[in-house]
Amino acid sequence: MKKLGLNTLSKATKVLAMTTLAAGISLANAADTIKVGVLHSLSGTMAISETTLKDTVLMMVEEQNKKGGLLGKQLEAVVVDPASNWPLFAEKTRELLEKDKVDVIFGCWTSVSRKSVLPVVEELNGLLFYPVQYEGEESSKNVFYTGAAPNQQAIPAVDYLMNDVGVKRWVLAGTDYVYPRTTNKILESYLKSKGVAAKDIMINYTPFGHSDWQTIVSDIKKFGSAGTKTAVVSTINGDANVPFYKELANQGVSAEDIPVVAFSVGEEELSGFDTKPLVGHLAAWNYFMSADGKENDAFIKQWHTFTKDDKRVTNDPMEATYIGFNMWTKAVEKAGTADVSKVQDAMIGISVPNLTGGMAVMNKNHHLSKPVLIGEIQEDGQFDIVWQTDGVVPGDAWTDYLPESKNLISDWTAPINCGNYNTATKTCGGAVAAE
């Protein structure tokens, strides 16, 4: 009980501290501030993941203000709650851009929320930083994608399993919505291009929040007993992972027999797990909390101080937010103004340190060049990095492994200035192509 009390208390102080802080800022600099919009769900199903990112942006804003702000002005965070409701994301974006007149927005988690915001930021010429790994096949002038594109997460993970673990048979398991469907389509065609036969690929979709995994795990077990090394590539989303991994453990499927590599399971998700039975299963990200490095240590320390809780974990979308924020401040300084169009141009080529060492660079297609890491789950809920790419991997907006996007590239610099430029026909398909 004592624990509960302390938690609530610390939360209350945090809220108090935040409101006083916000009040102080708006009093002192109400007239002349640069406004930073924060568009993350604070209630509803996505609150689990997105609240952390809101806190990350607030932490970065606070730190920037301590350093004296930006262009001599203080930063002011405007937090709204789209409540895990996709149409509300669009409304809140309009509110941020028209009413609050924010200069930049950090926000969204699910692909469907981003798709709902997209027409609004394009219409009102806003600036959105999107910090989560996603399925690609999109590039907007008004969006900077700081999370991983499929070639920065899914493809390297499959390469690792194929070359280093010797996997020959593949289960592609995912939740039934756009990100897993597109990712699996890309992976399937990639695997086939590498000579994997159709009978060695099993694809399975489950509803959101699926909790009865008995049959599927048993199917995976049978599929995996054909004598060749089998692995599961999981795009199973959020909540459904706990019962999935529990069932794996209960039916005795260990990581040594059939490893599961997940693209949506990070440190934060693992904090709700009993991780002992999961040891050895894998995840592919651009960042792990266990990465060695001065920047990472400093970031973790800053996060613990800000949340007043030294048990809080850090994860990949937080790093993507961190990189995005730092890039934006650098671009504003370079452009000498927070004006959206000028910042957009200044963003390209900007580089800031990754938390895992090395530099992240913003490319012409509004995607980052980042390293890719593979980690094995440890008993303490952290990842042990077992593999990483030699250098950085540039994000590819349009995958080369699907026929419809093979010839497309995105380049937001003159003379192309197009989100889906067809290199074969040398034409631009319009700002946002159909999916």
Partner 1 sequence: MFTLFRRVFFAVLLLSASHNLLANNADTQPSLTELSQQLISANYKEKAALADQIALIEDDQTIVILQALLDSRLYYVKSNGQLLLVDSSGEPDSAQDAFTLQAVTGLGKRDIKKIGVNNSLRVALRSLISRAQISSKHKSQRMAAAQNLLKSSDDIDRAFIDQALQRETDNSVAEVLHLVRALMQLKADQTEERIEGLTALDGALYPEVRAGLSEFIRSFSDEEKLSRKNEYQLAQTTLTDIEKLVSINGYIENLYFGLALGAVLLLAAIGLAITFGVMGVINMAHGEMIMLGAYTTYVVQLLMPEHIGLSLVVAVPAAFLVSGLVGVLIERGVIRHLYGRPLETLLATFGISLILQQAVRSIFSPLNREVATPEWMAGTFMINPALELTWNRLYIIIFSLMVLALLALVLKRTLFGLQMRAVTMNRPMASSMGIKTGWVDALTFGLGSGIAGIAGVALSQLTNVGPNLGQAYIIDSFMVVVFGGVGNLWGTLVGAMTLGVANKIFEPLAGAVLAKIMVLVFIILFIQKRPRGLFALKGRAVDNG
Nearer to partner 1, 277 or 419 (CB): 277
Nearer to partner 1, 253 or 360 (CB): 253
CB atoms within 10 A of CB 399: 25
Nearer to partner 1, 223 or 412 (CB): 223
Q: What are phi and psi of 384, to 5 degrees?
A: -100, 120
Please, which of residues 316-355 interact with partner 1 by CB under 8 A? none
Binding footprint of partner 1, residue count (CB under 8 A) = 58
Q: Which amino acid is at 231?
A: A
Alpha helices in 124-201 (DSSP H): 154-160, 178-193
Q: Which stretch binds partner 1 (CB under 8 A): 2-10, 127-135, 332-340, 412-420?
A: 2-10
Query: Contact between 243 and partner 1 (CB under 8 A)?
Result: yes
Q: DSSP character for 239?
A: G
Alpha helices in 34-173 (DSSP H): 47-66, 86-94, 111-123, 154-160
Cβ 49 vs Cβ 109: under 8 Å: yes
Cβ 315 vs Cβ 53: under 8 Å: no
Nearer to partner 1, 53 or 346 (CB): 53
Q: Which stretch binds partner 1 (CB under 8 A): 1-9, 139-147, 389-397, 427-435?
A: 1-9
Least Å distance, CB 383 to partner 1, is: 11
Dihedral angle computed from the Cα positions of residues 238, 231, 182 and 93, in that order, rounded to the nearest 10 degrees: 30
SS3 category, 231 = strand
Query: Contact between 177 and partner 1 (CB under 8 A)?
Result: no
Q: Which stretch binds partner 1 (CB under 8 A): 18-26, 71-79, 86-94, 375-383?
A: 375-383
Least Å distance, CB 313 to partner 1, is: 10
Q: Which of 376, 392, 405, 420: binder of partner 1 (CB under 8 A)?
A: 376
Query: Contact between 221 and partner 1 (CB under 8 A)?
Result: yes
Least Å distance, CB 233 to partner 1, is: 15
Beta strands 282-285; 373-377: pairing state: antiparallel
Query: Contact between 370 and partner 1 (CB under 8 A)?
Result: no
Least Å distance, CB 382 to partner 1, is: 11
201: nearest Cα among 169, 246, 243:
169
Query: Contact between 19 and partner 1 (CB under 8 A)?
Result: no
The Cα 170–Cα 151 span in angstroms is 18
Beta strands 169-175; 201-206: pairing state: parallel
Least Å distance, CB 249 to partner 1, is: 7
Query: Contact between 4 and partner 1 (CB under 8 A)?
Result: yes
Please, which of residues 273-302 interact with partner 1 by CB under 8 A? 273-274, 277, 279-280
Least Å distance, CB 28 to partner 1, is: 31
Query: What is the chain's Cα-based Rg?
Result: 22
Query: Contact between 422 and partner 1 (CB under 8 A)?
Result: no
Nearer to partner 1, 68 or 209 (CB): 209
Q: Which residues contact 314 (CB under 8 A, 6 or more apart)?
A: 267, 287, 289, 299, 300, 303
Please, which of residues 57-96 interact with partner 1 by CB under 8 A? none
Nearer to partner 1, 9 or 71 (CB): 9
The Cα 84–Cα 209 span in angstroms is 15
Beta strands 104-107; 128-130: pairing state: parallel
Query: Contact between 310 and partner 1 (CB under 8 A)?
Result: no
The Cα 319–Cα 253 span in angstroms is 32
Dihedral angle computed from the Cα positions of residues 332, 336, 340 and 342, in that order, rounded to the nearest 10 degrees: -110
273: nearest Cα among 379, 180, 386:
379
Nearer to partner 1, 246 or 406 (CB): 246
Looking from the CA of 387 toward its CB, the CA atoms found within 13 Å total: 18
Q: At 262, which helix (H) or strand (E)?
A: strand 260-262
Least Å distance, CB 211 to partner 1, is: 4
Least Å distance, CB 277 to partner 1, is: 7
Q: Which of 93, 151, 183, 204: binder of partner 1 (CB under 8 A)?
A: 204
Please, which of residues 248-277 interact with partner 1 by CB under 8 A? 249-252, 255-256, 259, 268, 271-274, 277
What residues make contact with partner 1 under the rule CB under 8 A? 1, 3-4, 7-8, 43, 45, 47-48, 51, 165, 176, 204-207, 209-212, 214-216, 218-219, 221-222, 224-228, 239, 242-243, 246-247, 249-252, 255-256, 259, 268, 271-274, 277, 279-280, 376, 378-380, 384, 386
